[in-house]
Amino acid sequence: MLMRTLKYTVAASMLAVALPASAQQLSIATGGTGGVYYPIGGGFAEMINNTSKVLRPRPK
């Protein structure tokens, strides 16, 4: 429940930022692929990718 709320809060705050019509790259700093935060960053990237036509995030 908390993760879902956090995901939607982050997505809403990112979508609220005015961006040009062209797709923008968004890097999410998560550390190494074996780290704890990488799966969370991947989840954020997937959620934003599915809901935004402007942002193209990727965990990094």
Going by C-beta distance under 8 Å and a sequence separation of 6 or more, which residues neighbour residue 57?
Answer: 25, 26, 27, 28, 44, 45, 48, 49
In a domain, 56, yes or no: yes
In a domain, 2, yes or no: no
In a domain, 43, yes or no: yes
In a domain, 26, yes or no: yes
Q: Report if pTM > 0.85.
A: no
Q: What are the tens digits of pLDDT across the range 13-57?
A: 666 664 555 567 778 888 888 888 888 888 888 888 888 877 777
Number of domains into which the chain is organized: 1
- Cβ 45 vs Cβ 28: under 8 Å: yes
In a domain, 10, yes or no: no
In a domain, 33, yes or no: yes
- Cβ 41 vs Cβ 33: under 8 Å: no
Domain span at residue 42?
22-60
In a domain, 15, yes or no: no
In a domain, 16, yes or no: no
